[in-house]
Copies of this chain bind each other. A is one copy, B any other.
């Protein structure tokens, strides 16, 4: 990796990754879930806040938080990943938030199904997209904008899509979209618009910046590309042993070690996880923990008998759609969905001490 720019560092200082040891928790504690915040976290006074629903609907309305809480309530465990996770490991490196591996987390989101709200508003017959607009505002690609993204009417009406006011049994924290956000299980996080203020049903494809320019898989700058949508399969491991502060290289004593990690995909359930302890030269199957729901990551374990030496540990997975995580993912202009396998450098030493593994 070549030197990171001050602009990249500014982004890394604002946005928060999930330290990978936090995969130990089935549900990521608040404050450990990743955060990608395009502009500023808005300070919202909930009593004055309303969700406006308008556009191509028969019954436009404004809903308060109490109105929404009075509807059907669901809680779903959802693994969410930033579309840019892995960007900093691409070469040449697309310049934006420089994630390595850590832009992921699993929340228990509580809210009401979007479908019911849209059905009550009465979607018009010619409707194409449903646009979600947040209160966060900034300049990007030369355009001043509120953050906004759209789903097709079909995707917006899926059962699992929520308007969420709760995370892990608490009100949404400000940084996760207080008082209300969209949660689109299975999709990369850019879709789950935070600080939601408007839902507009439109009779054409949405052409806002975040849909038209950002979040597209492009092979070259001139390629119109295809939209970034659902999460590609990815497995990550909790780095074993203990870290060296600066290099983050791992140290552990020789002997049996249980490697542990998580795997997820937005296109199906996890079918298998493989582990390599020799940098990808050979692979072996990990054992899978029971599924934790259709949209949450799945735990896996691998017994490794570590002998003294230097090792590079890797993991990869496949999902029920047949998609398999590549050892090296294809480069793209925006640096999205880089699921190239994680490589964990480990030094195993002979030791007499009772070191924790």
Binding site for B on A (CB under 8 A): 1-14, 16-17, 19, 21-22, 24-25, 29-33, 35, 37-41, 43, 88, 95-96, 98-100, 102, 137-140, 144, 173-176, 239, 242-248, 251, 356
Cβ contact within 8 Å between B7 and A5: no
Cβ contact within 8 Å between A137 and B356: yes
Cβ contact within 8 Å between B175 and A39: no
Q: In the complex this chain forms, how many copies of it are found?
A: 2
CB distance from A320 to the nearest CB of B (A): 30
Cβ contact within 8 Å between B14 and A4: no
Which residue among A1, A8, A16, A21 has the maximum number of chain B CB atoms within 10 Å of its CB? Answer: A16
Cβ contact within 8 Å between A243 and B16: no
Assess A32 versus B175: contact at CB under 8 Å? Given A138-B245, A242-B138, A356-B137.
Answer: yes
Cβ contact within 8 Å between A137 and B242: yes
Give every chain B residue within 8 A of A356 (Cβ-Cβ): 137
Cβ contact within 8 Å between B244 and A139: yes
Q: Which 5 A-B pairs have the closest CB atoms?
A: A3-B3, A31-B31, A4-B4, A16-B16, A140-B245
Cβ contact within 8 Å between A139 and B242: yes
Cβ contact within 8 Å between A13 and B100: yes
Complex CA–CA separation, A185 to B137 (angstroms) = 36
Give every chain B residue within 8 A of A4 (Cβ-Cβ): 3-6, 8-9
Complex CA–CA separation, A233 to B5 (angstroms) = 29
CB distance from A125 to the nearest CB of B (A): 35
Give every chain B residue within 8 A of A41 (Cβ-Cβ): 19, 21-22, 32
CB distance from A95 to the nearest CB of B (A): 7
Report which of B25, B98, B175 forms a contact with A31, defined as CB distance below 8 A: B175
Report which of B8, B19, B144 forms a contact with A242, defined as CB distance below 8 A: B144
Residue of B nearest to A2 (CB): B3
Cβ contact within 8 Å between A29 and B242: no
Give every chain B residue within 8 A of A22 (Cβ-Cβ): 41, 174-175
Complex CA–CA separation, A144 to B252 (angstroms) = 11
CB distance from A110 to the nearest CB of B (A): 17
